[in-house]
Chains A and B, each alone.
Chain A
Amino acid sequence: MAATGPVTSMTALARAALRAPLTRRARDELLFCLAGVLVGLAVLGVVVALLVPGTARSVVRAVAIVAVLLPLALATGLGRRLGAAHRRLAERLLGERVPPPALPRQGSLGRLGAGLRDSPSWRALAYTVLKAPIAVAEGYAVFLWAAGLANLTYPFWWGLFRNHPPGVRLSPVLAGTPFPGRVLHISTYPGTFLAFAAGVVMVLAAPWVTRAVVAADRRLLRGLLGPGRLAERVRDLEQTRALAVDDSATLLRQVERDLHDGAQIRLATLAMHLGMAKEKLGDDGDPLDVAGARELVDAAHQNAKDALAELRDLARGIHPPVLDNGLADALATLAAGSAIPVELATDIPVRPTPAIETIAYFCAAELLANAAKHSSASRIGLRATGRGDLLLLSVTDDGGGGADPGGSGLSGLAQRVSTVDGRLEVASPPGGPTRVVVELPLRA
């Protein structure tokens, strides 16, 4: 058994190598390279047309034309349209989905000013210009395919066109090699097999060369035609800020609702019961209805106790006081209160900021509650570790698995975590076990 492993993997590799030229991916990437060559040629054509006849005057003229045309191109949004065309091509042929840059901001400087300051336009133009050198490499990939395929045909047509009687000398036929500068001179039938062999090598190598060239182009695409790192970050921050604002508004609303429907009602009813009891006792002299008054005072007493319990729960829900002693203590309290036994391990050498501790605490509380509610687990592992600048919180259970990361509970947690640039990962295959890891920065 031990020996078959490497052997099967070798055969698999060989099969993959032989099959590579025939895949749809190879075809699409070849088409992308072809398109790239056309773009490169167009760019080259424009440059050459501008610089011919190559004198100093023509250079000056070229600079002048560019100085006039470039602002025009930017103001009319040509740059963005070019970028969009490149992106469409990459998506259609490579399946590479590059998110479009954010829409231009309307400035006070009008269309020209906005166009000149529009960085996505500039980047799209830069990509188009950089496409020229890349097109050379893409041209080479196309050449490998074309020449390789042509070489494969030599042995088949040689007999049809080259069956001259012996002694007749014909000039040799040229065949391509993987090195564009060098050619094979084929003058005999056996020689065609050399061309065939070269063709096999080229066709086998072509998909990989194509892939490498396309990979370089993909990097450039993502770097220059995407939203840009800063813009992406801003978009990210805008989203998480909106989430944070919504979250705190929802929280305040919830607190108001809890007070309104809970403690406030209990206290109002308590006051009512005491008021009724007072009436039954009368203003002075002997009480009018002692039994009724006693019963009402009992009810008021119960209401007061219930209101106290509700207020305590509510206060703890807003900020658990034990959190002031640190996350480890708070998690220990949480673990002790869980219906399912919790194995707790904490190692937090550097104390996180209060906001991070609070988020970590509420994540742990919700994840424990989730596990207790849905997993039918018999044990829960809760671990909090400080590592470098990060706080890692993991909750594992041996239950049935199948937790849905897109569900409202887990996605809500992920959103809350993302407001401080944290991450939440869920691994919960059907049948279990479930493991949720929350990664938070130590300071927010």
Chain B
Amino acid sequence: MRVVIAEDAALMRAGLIRLLEDRGHQVPAAVADGDALLAAVAEHRPDVAVVDIRMPPTHTDEGLRAALELRRRHPRTGVLVFSQYIETRYTAQLLEGGAAGVGYLLKDRVADVAEFADALARVAAGGTALDPEVVGQLLGAGRHARGLAGLTPREREVLALMAEGRSNAGIAAALVISGGAVEKHVASIFGKLGLPPSEGDNRRVLAVLRYLAS
């Protein structure tokens, strides 16, 4: 996997490079601001870009703007937005053009190296990786309280993991249940929420997110 990194904190940048290279990935460029990111992606055509939100010069949301621009210019490059805060507004902006090849994670998640690498790989492959915080905000928004109230606690857990972008196997591993049990839960959730059954992980995530964000 080829990864371009945009992160202005040198310490974190060096750590990420090391983490990725340790796992056999390539990091052709690691830059510290949005413009450099766009240039680096245009040059190296990576599978995925890891983008910090707050970067110079204004230290507000230039990373996010660069990420949206990346999605417009290079729809086949995955974008993992990587920040110290989760902002609902940013989530909405990121998911506006669809959830394929998009990730939004808290920086804290690098602590679980394998999970982080897994999420990055998902985004690179056109999947989705949303932080549990993002999903929590979506579930807690209260717009679908009635629909969600019909789910069992287990089904709600499965829904949250689906919204994070995990595959059936990932959900099964996280909840320590069998793949068949996951499939049954998923079918039940889609039935209760009135969602059309969809094939494939990505389409399923889209359906769930569309439901939560509608």
Contact = CB atoms under 8 A, between A and B. Distances in A.
B113 A279 contact: yes
Contacts of B22: 276, 292
Contact of B54 (A260, A268, A269): A260
A272 B19 contact: yes
A271 interface: yes
B18 A276 contact: yes
Among B11, B16, B108, find the residue whose CB has the most chain A CB atoms closer than 10 A: B11
Interface string A245-283: 000000000000100110011101101111110110000
B152 interface: no
Nearest to A279: B113
B149 interface: no
Interface in B102-129: 107-108, 110-114
B36 interface: no
Nearest to A259: B84
Interface string B23-62: 0000000000000000000000000000000100001000
A85 to B, nearest CB: 50
A261 B113 contact: no
Interface in A340-372: none
B136 interface: no
Given A269-B11, A271-B108, A260 B84 contact: yes
Contacts of A266: 11
User: Of residues B108, B113, B114, which shows the largest number of chain A Cβ atoms within 10 Å of its Cβ?
Assistant: B113
Interface hub of B9, B54, B59 (most chain A Cβ within 10 A): B9
A83 B18 CA distance: 75
Interface residues of A, number: 18
B191 interface: no
A271 B54 contact: no
Contacts of A274: 111
Given A260-B54, A272-B15, A276-B19, A265 B9 contact: yes
B113 A257 contact: no
A284 to B, nearest CB: 16
A278 B115 CA distance: 13
A265 B84 CA distance: 9
B89 to A, nearest CB: 18
A268 B113 contact: no
Contacts of A275: 110-113
Contacts of B18: 276
A262 B92 CA distance: 28
Interface string A287-322: 000001000000000010000000000000000000
A275 B112 CA distance: 6
A303 B9 CA distance: 13
A96 B113 CA distance: 74
Q: Which 9 A-B pairs have the closest CB atoms?
A: A271-B111, A272-B110, A275-B113, A265-B9, A268-B107, A275-B111, A269-B15, A272-B15, A269-B11
Interface of B: 9, 11-12, 15-16, 18-19, 22, 54, 59, 84, 107-108, 110-114
Given A272-B110, A272-B113, A275-B110, 7 more contacts: A260-B84, A265-B107, A272-B12, A272-B19, A276-B113, A278-B113, A279-B113
9 contacts: A264-B84, A264-B107, A265-B9, A268-B107, A269-B11, A271-B108, A271-B110, A274-B111, A276-B22
